């Protein structure tokens, strides 16, 4: 059993932004040389997420609207009373999750027909990372 770890770094232009990282993860899998196994793609910050869904711009806009409806940006959150202004981002991350685990088959992601891996940033405009860890043979 082998393992391989690499980090992707992001500094988004917008505070809330969604980035399709599927091809980058596939590149890392190829670099690892692992043919069969699993890949963990994990947002390494408490105000960002990794999730799997369709790569369709309307869906991305729906996510943004839906999240802002559930977690209003200008609510008087207790966390913000500590001098922070990003309580909403912590809550959005909890809703969207922190990681995705995908099978690796024949040295590439084994996703469903429309599945793509996304990095979702909720408190951007600063440097953050995603860990990609592959284990297998």
What is the pLDDT, as a whole number, of residue 82?
94
Q: What's the CATH code of the domain at 83?
A: 2.60.120.460
DSSP string covering the chain, please?
-EEEEEEEEE--SSSSEEEE-HHHHHHHHHHHT--SEEEEEEE-STTEEEEEEE--HHHHHHHHHHHHHHS-TTS--GGGGGT-S-HHHHHHHHHH-SEEEEEEETTEE---TTEEEEEEESS-SS-EEEEEEEEE-
Mean pLDDT of 73-80: 95
pLDDT class of 47 with cuts at 50, 70, 90: very high
**Domain residues for 31?**
2-136
| pTM of the complete model | 0.96
Report percent pLDDT > 70 for the chain.
100
The domain total for the chain is: 1
What is the pLDDT, as a whole number, of residue 35?
98
């Amino acid at each position: 059993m082998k393992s391989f770890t690499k980090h992707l770094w992001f500094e988004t232009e917008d505070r809330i932004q969604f980035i399709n990282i599927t091809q980058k993860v596939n590149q890392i899998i190829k670099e690892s040389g692992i043919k069969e196994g699993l890949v963990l793609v994990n947002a390494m910050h408490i105000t960002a997420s990794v999730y799997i869904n369709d790569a369709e711009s309307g869906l991305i806009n729906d996510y943004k609207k839906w999240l802002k409806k559930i977690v209003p940006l200008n609510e008087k959150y207790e966390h913000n009373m500590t001098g922070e202004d990003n309580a909403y981002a912590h809550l959005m991350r909890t809703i969207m999750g922190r990681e995705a685990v995908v099978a690796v088959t024949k040295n590439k992601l084994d996703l469903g027909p429309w599945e793509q891996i996304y990095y979702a940033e909720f408190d951007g405009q600063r440097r953050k990372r995603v860990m990609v860890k592959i284990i297998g043979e």
